[in-house]
Amino acid sequence: MFEPTNHFNIVADDERADAAEKVTGRAKFTADHHIDNIAYGLFVTSTIAKGTITNLDSSKALQAPGVLDVIYYKNCPNIPGYNALTPDNKRNNFEWKGLKVLNDNIVRFFGQPIALVVADSFENALAAVKLVKAEYATEAFDTNFNEARLVESKTKLAGKYKRGNPKAYLNAPFFIEAEYNTPIEVHNPMEMHSSIAIWEGDDKLTLYDKSQGPKGTQSTIARTFGIPEKNVRVITEFVGGAFGNALRSWLHVPAACIAAKKLNRPVKVLLTRPQMFSLVGYRPQSWQKIGIGADKTGKLLGISHEAISNTSRYEDFREGITDASRFLYKCENVDTEYKLLPLDLSTPTWMRGPGETTGCFALESALDELSYQLKMDPIDLRIVNYTETHQENKLPWSANNVKDCYAAGKEKIGWKNRPKKPGSLKEKGWLVGYGMGGGIFGANKGSATVKAILKEDGSLVLQSAVSDMGPGTTTAMGIIAAESLQMPTSRIKFMLGDSSLPPGPTQGGSGTTSTLGSAVNLICETLKQVIKELGIQHFAAFKGLQITDLEVKNELLIDKKNQGSQISIVELLKLAGKPSIEITKESNGNNPQEIKYAFCSFSVHFVKILVHPKTGEMKLQKVITTGDAGKIISENTARSQMLGGVVGGIGMAFKEGLEINHATGEIANASFGEYLVPRHTDIPETEIWFVNKPDPFINSIGAKGIGEIAMIGFAAAVANAVYNATGKRVRDLPITPEKLGFSKA
Ligand code: MOS
């Protein structure tokens, strides 16, 4: 038996800024907030997949202890954003995008909220939910992706692309053609979604909400309720994990606002764990077909990539499943086609590496399959097809050090031991396989505003209305500021999670460090200028000096020319008669380099797997994940981010998959007991390695994103290793012993 070991090194001076608050329980997540006189709202959900509610009986629930109201389509107040038209038929500016919860009697998926029970305690609300009885007129429904996708008329085209000759792979001397399937995967972070709505009068609202973007939520809710944005304050100080599920406001958010307004008291709406499986989005199910061909040197002659993913009936959710096939590898002939399949399910959403995670499972598996046909090392195959330019927009990469990733990973995983013939290597009775897979994700820089407050005691507070869903944004921002100002991170506090702070971006698309970090760098550089000007103005010894003569370091202002002449910033503030310095600045999203370069982050994952030849039990023995994401700001949190992606990737490879009972439309495994996720013992020795070279063109700090590349390509690395160990190719996730041909019994 091989026992997994963990080597999670923590860099001491790079500690998470919020670690103590989180591990001691001082950190307050949304539902932790207690407000005087608060009431609790819980959803009653539909027990059919499609139809109309013919009668909803709330009388028993209303008589139950502590119940204050049961809100449903017959008594739900009118919400401005639910109606896109004013009474005189003009389009108004109010809008709620998404299902209009509690608004009508139509059921669109099993588990849809149909009423909100509001009670004086969580327990009373929970008890009363069971007392609400609905009668339905049911309709035929469709939740079966695998069957429905075969019916052309049920799908709709969502994107098509072509360069060179379509289906060129068919004419290549070596080609493979294969279909890949991935199931619905759900986010399910530790912290479940909740919202607390507190109205002050008719048009002023404070909302505690689990959100990846307080500013985005503020805008959504203002437009939904027809009130000025400035009258909505959204607070999200701590987020207990999110992988895209808090990028938009889901149904419980307006529900909390509706209930609080109707009852004229604060209302907290919580989702239960089972509700987390259908009410906050998910990675859609996919079917993909890849055709890929090469000449005998491995040079790619054609890539064709088709994909279908599901959406709901009431919204189109699309993602870039076929995108990476268009630009990751050098190839003149590429065609892709992407279709959506609306089903009677809730709407999917972005989930870690949205699009590419699904697409690269297929693409990176297909390349591996091709490598065996060519009798070529799969890493060499990728190197042959390395491209200096983004193959779709033809721009040169701002930076692409993926070859360094290949080299480092190859060495660290022990690639030289990889058997050329699948199923030919054994260690202590277990079959051994090595596999690798790559990932790519676009990098960008958006706009953000940061306020700096240099306090009387010389410490620094930075503020921006972003949220930190877990990657460690406060830590990374502290490090950027500390580097710029040459002061210890312990003297810097980054405040976020409140829409009343200066506007910051939504945390998503691996863009926060680039966008917000640029703004932090800008404000700190500006602050240094202000300090230097103040020194020249007020400190006699600096009279007549130029800005460039001075340097800010260790909370001192120093004359670089005449070593020794210096003043502490605290003294300087006193001298200048200022209790503090406060400045606010916007770093805009413009990057003139954008028209010259293509910006992407890259990852390459390497795994060594053991497969038991009698039982099919699979154990990852070692994982090496390498990343090229520009400069690494915080080694500690960047490492954690990649490790999180690896864990997600292990879940995707071996465990995860939503099961739907197609007879009823109900999710059959909506609990942690039934929806499998990796346990600690499933995570092997994992080494994270970064190229760590600044990207010269992306922004002022040289850092790109890592949140998505951490996971993209990982599941393919596992499938490729499984093939290398056993000679069995699994193209349907998750990979289980049954799919390797081992029976359950
Ligand atoms: Mo991420 S899927 O952009 O939260």
What would the pLDDT profile of 429-461 be if each residue is shown by its tens digit?
Answer: 999 999 999 999 999 999 999 999 999 999 999
Whether the predicted pLDDT of 622 surpasses 60: yes
Q: Give the mean model confidence (pLDDT) for residues 338-353.
A: 98
Whether the predicted pLDDT of 9 surpasses 50: no
On whether the 33-138+193-277 domain is CATH 3.30.365.10, my answer is yes
The residue written with tokens 């099993």 in the block is 110
Q: Which residues line ligand 1 (CB under 6 A)?
A: 212, 243-244, 247, 350-352, 354, 508-509
* 7: confidence class by pLDDT, cuts 50, 70, 90: very low
Euclidean distance between CA atoms 54 and 66, whole angstroms: 27
Distance from the alpha carbon of residue 615 to the mean position of ligand 1, in angstroms: 37
* 2: confidence class by pLDDT, cuts 50, 70, 90: very low
Q: For position 744, what pLDDT does the model report?
A: 57
Q: Residues 101-116, buried b or exposed e (16+ Cβ, 10 A)? A: bbbbbbbbbbbbbbbb
Euclidean distance between CA atoms 337 and 710, whole angstroms: 26
**Which string of DSSP letters, residue by residue, matches 385-419?**
T--SB-TTT-PBBS---HHHHHHHHHHHHTGGG--
Q: How many CB atoms lie within 10 A of CB 486?
A: 15
Q: Give the mean model confidence (pLDDT) for residues 182-196.
A: 97
Euclidean distance between CA atoms 115 and 97, whole angstroms: 19
What CATH class does 448-590 carry? alpha beta
Q: For position 563, what pLDDT does the model report?
A: 73
Q: Can you name the residues that pair with 581 across neighbouring β-strands?
A: 454
Q: Which of 186, 243, 513 to mutate to test the pocket of ligand 1 (most atoms within 8 A of CB)?
A: 243
* Ligand 1 atom with the shortest distance to the CA of 469: 4
Q: pLDDT by residue (tens digit) across 371-400?
A: 999 999 999 999 999 999 999 999 999 999
Q: For position 745, what pLDDT does the model report?
A: 52
CB 303 within 8 A of CB 331: yes
Euclidean distance between CA atoms 164 and 14, whole angstroms: 49
Q: In CATH, what number does 146-187+287-393 get?
A: 3.30.365.10
Euclidean distance between CA atoms 347 and 414, whole angstroms: 43
Q: Give the mean model confidence (pLDDT) for residues 181-202.
A: 97
Would you call 504 helix, strand, or coil by DSSP?
A: coil
Q: For position 561, what pLDDT does the model report?
A: 83
CB 409 within 8 A of CB 356: no
Whether the predicted pLDDT of 619 surpasses 60: yes
Domain residue spans in the chain? 33-138+193-277, 146-187+287-393, 395-440+592-745, 448-590
* Cα 721 to Cα 355, 436, 440, distances in angstroms: 23, 7, 20
Whether the predicted pLDDT of 53 surpasses 80: yes
- Residue 703 is given by DSSP the state B
Structure tokens at 623: 């994982």
Would you call 369 helix, strand, or coil by DSSP?
A: helix
Q: Residues 198-235, buried b or exposed e (16+ Cβ, 10 A)? A: bbeeeeebbbbbbbbbbbbbbbbbbbbbebeeebbbbb
* 161: confidence class by pLDDT, cuts 50, 70, 90: very high
Whether the predicted pLDDT of 657 surpasses 90: yes
Structure tokens at 182: 């991935």
Distance from the alpha carbon of residue 354 to the mean position of ligand 1, in angstroms: 7
Would you call 220 helix, strand, or coil by DSSP?
A: helix
Structure tokens at 70: 């049961």
Euclidean distance between CA atoms 542 and 564, whole angstroms: 12
* Ligand 1 atom with the shortest distance to the CA of 350: 2
* Cα 582 to Cα 131, 523, 579, distances in angstroms: 56, 10, 10
Q: Give the mean model confidence (pLDDT) for residues 303-319.
A: 98
CA Rg value for the chain? 28
- When the pLDDT of each residue in the chain is averaged and rounded to a whole number, the result is 95
Whether the predicted pLDDT of 319 surpasses 60: yes
Q: For position 3, what pLDDT does the model report?
A: 37
* Ligand 1 atom with the shortest distance to the CA of 247: 4
Whether the predicted pLDDT of 303 surpasses 60: yes
* Cα 568 to Cα 452, 554, 557, distances in angstroms: 18, 9, 6
Q: For position 259, what pLDDT does the model report?
A: 98
Distance from the alpha carbon of residue 471 to the mean position of ligand 1, in angstroms: 11
Region of 728 (left: φ > 0; alpha: ψ -120 to 50; beta: rest) is beta
Do the domains 33-138+193-277 and 395-440+592-745 sit in the same CATH topology, yes or no? yes
pTM, full prediction = 0.96
Q: Can you name the residues that pair with 619 across neighbouring β-strands?
A: 610
* 13: confidence class by pLDDT, cuts 50, 70, 90: low
Outline where 92-228 has alpha helix (H): 122-129, 145-148, 214-225
Distance from the alpha carbon of residue 414 to the mean position of ligand 1, in angstroms: 33
Q: How many CB atoms lie within 10 A of CB 47?
A: 15
Distance from the alpha carbon of residue 460 to the mean position of ligand 1, in angstroms: 30
Flag the least confident range among 160-164, 264-268, 739-743: 739-743
Which residue is closest in CA terms to ligand 1's atom 4?
Answer: 244
* Cα 421 to Cα 376, 409, 731, distances in angstroms: 11, 21, 19
* 4: confidence class by pLDDT, cuts 50, 70, 90: very low
H/E segment holding residue 281:
none
Q: pLDDT by residue (tens digit) across 458-502?
A: 999 999 999 999 999 999 999 999 999 999 999 999 999 999 999
- Residue 74 is given by DSSP the state T
Whether the predicted pLDDT of 91 surpasses 80: no
Q: What one-letter code names the amino acid at 688?
A: I
Flag the least confident range among 490-504, 523-537, 556-570: 556-570
Q: pLDDT by residue (tens digit) across 249-296?
A: 999 999 999 999 999 999 999 999 999 999 999 999 999 999 999 999
Whether the predicted pLDDT of 86 surpasses 80: no
Would you call 137 helix, strand, or coil by DSSP?
A: strand
The fold of the 395-440+592-745 domain, in CATH, is Aldehyde Oxidoreductase; domain 4 (3.30.365)
* Ligand 1 atom with the shortest distance to the CA of 511: 3
Q: pLDDT by residue (tens digit) across 225-239?
A: 999 999 999 999 999
